Amino acid sequence: MNVDQVHQVAVNSLRFVELGSFVVKRACDELIVHRGLQKKASDLAPEVLEIMIKTGAVREEQRQAAAAMLGSHAETLQLTKWAVEELYKARTTNKVAGDLGTPVDDPEKRGQGDYDSLTDPFIGRQTSQKKASDHAILKVLDNPRT
């Protein structure tokens, strides 16, 4: 081997090492980004799980299965897909008695004035009818000249 060939081998070796170093740096940067995103997702998962249980999207006996699903990106997307499908079904199906949004009071009794919150057996019941406290508050709005 002459000097030019040795020089060429050295230059090619340095280029190979430089390219290898670049590839390893790029892979490490991607790994850092990936781990950061995984950490954010894993920190948020318990809060999401509690909200899902609190709102009834997930039943208590399904807690472990939902927690496992929230640990994987693909499974989280699958869980989200199912939740969106259920929301869509709930919004597009015909409402029946007992659905969310139906009034608590009997529609025939509404506005008849026979409701008395002072004698109602259920303390603090939510109702669309006027309670005794409402009458007291509304009295302030009455015209004092009449």
pTM, two decimals, is 0.45
pLDDT in tens, 25-84: 999 999 999 999 889 988 989 998 898 888 877 888 888 888 888 888 888 888 888 878
* Of residues 8 and 107, more confidently modeled: 8
pLDDT in tens, 98-115: 555 555 555 455 554 567
Q: Give exposure, 94-131, as e/b (b: 16+ Cβ within 10 Å).
A: eeeeeeeeeeeeeeeeeeeeebebeeeeeeeeebebeb
pLDDT of 15: 95
